[in-house]
Structure 1
Amino acid sequence: MKTLQTPILLFCLCFCCCKDAFNPQVDAKYKNLLVVEGFINIGATTTIKLSRTADLKDWQITAPEKKAEVEIEGNKGTRLRGLTGEDGQCVLNTENLSLDESYMLKIKLSDGKLYQTDYLESKASPEIDSLNFEVENKGFQIYVHTQDPLNKTRYYKWDYQETWEVNSTFISSVEYKDGKVVKRDPNVNIQYCWNTAKSSNILLQTTERLSEDRVTRFPLVHVKGNSAKVAHLYSVLVSQYGLTQNAYQYMVNMKKNTEQIGSIFDSQPSELRGNIYCISTPSEQVIGWMSAGTVSQKRIFISYKDKPASGYDWVYLQRCETVISSQDSLLYYLGGNNLLIDEQINGPNIKYLLGSKECIDCRLRGSNIRPDYWPI
């Protein structure tokens, strides 16, 4: 038995000790690749974003591709053109495009390189039947339901934009301005703000193996009950896209490469080949898949009133403390992360009530411009 145990022990020790970092050498042709993001949104506005990849170790970092010419060309003569800005984005008005026409995307970079797609199959997205939320796992789980009575969609993709109300804990009546304590301008809103965030996960579903083209209770997003998002009022706007089979498979591979890689048991990375190619250098790889069609949207609101009656898991806590200062110490406290809340005058004595900026000025956590869809 001893002659068996020794080799096995040595093998285990060697296996467990092999923990050197793996730093793969990346071929130059896989660096600085053009990334094309967007969807030709028929009947609305289209945003095309161009960027460049960094090295493999910095795969999340991209640089915007500026001053690139972007063109949407239809097979019936339609032409729309624009330039990418400092953020690498080009916005085109595609409200007058039609599902009866096929479109291709053309790109010309500032260095003269040309890229394009073939003519794309346009797909209409059916309307979203409904959005609903259920109390699950100490939070709100939001589900989408949809169907295509014509059984033509079959491949679905969703994304969403969240918006939530941010309120200041303390109401400030004074501020320190030009060396003096003065009344705060009541026309400048620092009490009620709104923050926004876009979905980051790739949300896909197919009904290709079902007799009905129907999606029921697809989970979109889970919001924790003690999150700042549902402290007051929360809204999510869901956009639904119909994809071709090829576009759907590309997004499946993209999802595997970006979301499901973490251990040897997870999906392994695959080379992504999109439908955008370089005319100038045919061997050059381009990252991205362009699709065209209509987009269906639906919005849902969740209020703090929708929370269960009680429970620590449903309470949003923001640490907000106050400090009282004399005139002599005012500048010292203002030099920190504080703002004035109130001025208290008692004869010759003047005291000031202060609190942290994040608890007084909501603009540090969002925009003070009320969205036009927000309930009054």
Structure 2
Amino acid sequence: MRSIYSHSSLNLRAASTNVGASLLCCALLSMSGCIESFEPKEGSTTPPSLLVVDGFLNSQGVTTIKLTRSLGLKAKTAPAAEAKAKLFVEEENGLRYTLFETTAGTYNSARLSLNPAKRYRLHFTTANNRAYATDYTRAKITPAVDEVHWLVEGDRVVVQVSAHDETNQTQYYRWDAEETWEFTSAYRSKLEALPGGGLIPREVSIYRCWGTQPGGLIKTFTTTKLSQDVVADFPLLTLASSSVKLRYKYSVLVKQYAQTVEEFAYWEALRKNTENIGTLFDPLPSQLTGNVHCLTDPSEQVLGYIGAYSVQEQRLFISRDQLPASWKSDTGYETCAKPDTIPKAYVHVSFLTPDYLPLEDVDKGVTAQYAKCVDCRLRGTNIQPSFWK
């Protein structure tokens, strides 16, 4: 999941202190606009480094929990991992399952099969001996995804999902999606530079790659106001006709989760905080209250919500030949200029850094271009995903 927690209590919204100026500003909004962004001075605020708990208790599979520390609004580094903690999945008045640290701050369990009739929680202790636990929650079984499909609406593609629960036990649904797409760089490099300045035929292609956008989508729906526990053609995401993702082939892995009413409310608040903030009339960001608590110091704020449920998945593919022929997709390399031509006498000194790459031999020398326009690995991977077809 993206790092979306730092906004919750650390967001700042500027407000005018001059009432008269505010009224005048609102009156003139449609004419010129008078909202100015507020930039806090360096050192004026030091946001607390809060513990962030990300993941869920997988009732029918491997549980993965990530522990990190929150960042300030201007931070340019990755969140610091909370390493060397001791984590357990605990059954109320019952068994305890250990999670093992696989990489710094990431903890995995063995494959679990939790009893839907019982309640579970996450309990852990950090390296500095501070204890934390979530509220106990009943393990839910997520119904299967009936169908993930797509359709063309005007100049966009809409991906939709359908599901149902014949037992009427789910009612609260959440979805995430992991997108993958095939793309090519602006220019194909047929040559590779040696450390001494010579050129050889390139053996590994850096022209065709696959980009991935990890999960981070927040889509929720409840059937409590319907006569049946049925989700029909719920819109998950849209893609513009010009999207680079649709240039060759696109795939999306949809993940479906059954939620409790409490967790559903948490994700709804988080969705509104991340999607609806941006204009004068949008609601102010709400304070997110998760279900993770510090047992050592109950006053400590912890970010995250850990539920217990299984996950259901379904993958969808869209090929370019399935889309309207009139659509023109972006390449993602629109700013790349035409290649240079390096005279033969200067070839041996022209490719001494990886930022500038040879393309192919021509009569007058060798064509060349900057790596950002040639090496697709700078935007993805040139290893085809195992699920690609």
Would the TM-score normalized by the shorter structure come out above 0.5? yes
* Partner Cα separation in structure 2 for residue 255 and residue 158 of structure 1: 12
1:252 corresponds to which of 235, 253, 268: 268
- Alpha-carbon distance change, 190 to 331 in structure 1, aligned in 2, over 3 angstroms: same
- 1:1-376 to structure 2, matched below 5 A, reads 12=20, 15-16=23-24, 31-55=48-72, 62-75=79-92, 76-83=94-101, 85-86=103-104, 88-99=105-116, 101-186=118-203, 188-312=204-328, 314=329, 316=331, 318-319=333-334, 320=336, 321-330=338-347, 333-334=350-351, 337-344=355-362, 351-375=365-389
Q: 2:333 & 2:76 partners in 1: Cα distance?
A: 34
Change (3 A) 1:178 1:24: closer
* Counterpart Cα distance in 1 of 2:139 and 2:91: 11
**Residue 165 of structure 1: CA displacement?**
1.1
Contact 2:273 2:285 (8 Å CA) reproduced: yes
SS of residue matched to 1:251? helix
CA contact (8 A) 1:133 1:142 kept: yes
Deviation (angstroms), 1:229? 1.1
1:96 offset after TM fit, Å? 4.4
- Per the TM alignment, residue 89 of structure 1 is displaced from its structure 2 partner at its CA by 2.0
Paired with 1:311 and 1:194, the residues of 2 have a C-alpha distance of 21
Three-state SS of the structure 2 residue aligned to 1:302 is: strand
Query: Quick one: percent identity of the two aligned structures?
Result: 34
Pair 1:114–1:338, CA change in 2 (3 A)? same
Aligned-residue offset at 1:232: 0.9
* Distance verdict in 2 for CA 1:332–1:52, change over 3 Å: same
Q: Deviations over 1:296-330 (max 9, x none)?
A: 10000011112211144x45463452222212333
- Residues 139 and 94 (structure 1 numbering): CA distance in 2 closer, same or farther, change over 3 Å? same
Inter-partner Cα distance in structure 2 for 1:52 and 1:315:
37
Q: Alignment partner of 2:198: what SS?
A: strand
Distance in structure 2 (CA, Å) of the matches to 1:22 and 1:172: 46
Which ranges of structure 2 fall in alignment gaps of 5 or more residues? 1-17, 26-33
Judged with a 3 Å threshold, the aligned counterparts in structure 2 of structure 1 residues 231 and 311 are, in CA distance, closer, same or farther, namely closer
Aligned partner letter, 1:365: R
Give, in whole Å, the separation in 2 of the partners of 1:128 and 1:110. Answer: 40
How many residues matched? 357
CA RMSD of aligned residues (A): 3.1
Q: Residues 114-159 of structure 1, C-alpha deviation per residue, up to 9 Å, x if partnerless? A: 0012332111111111111111252211111111111110000000
Contact 1:53 1:59 in 2 (8 A): no
Q: TM-score normalised to the size of structure 2?
A: 0.81
Deviation at 1:19, TM superposition (A): 6.8
CA spacing shift, 1:179–1:48, aligned 2, 3 Å = same
Counterpart for residue 7 of structure 1: none
Instruction: Give 3-state SS (helix, strand or coil) of 2:316's partner.
Output: strand
* Cα offset, 1:63, TM superposition: 3.2
The DSSP-based 3-state class of the residue aligned with 1:258 is helix
- Give the TM-score normalised by the residue count of structure 1: 0.84
**SS at structure 2 position matched to 1:277:** strand
Q: Which amino acid aligns with 1:275?
A: N
User: 1:344–1:273: structure 2 CA closer, same or farther, 3 Å change rule?
Assistant: closer
Task: Give how far 1:103 is off.
Answer: 2.2
Report the Cα distance in structure 1 between the residues aligned to 2:271 and 2:77, rounded to whole angstroms: 14
- Cα 1:317–1:275, aligned 2, differ >3 Å: closer, same or farther? closer
2:241–2:327 contact (8 Å) kept in structure 1? no
How far is the alpha carbon of 1:294 from its aligned partner? 0.9
Give the number of the structure whose alpha-carbon radius of gyration is greater. Answer: 1
How many angstroms does 1:80 deviate by? 1.8
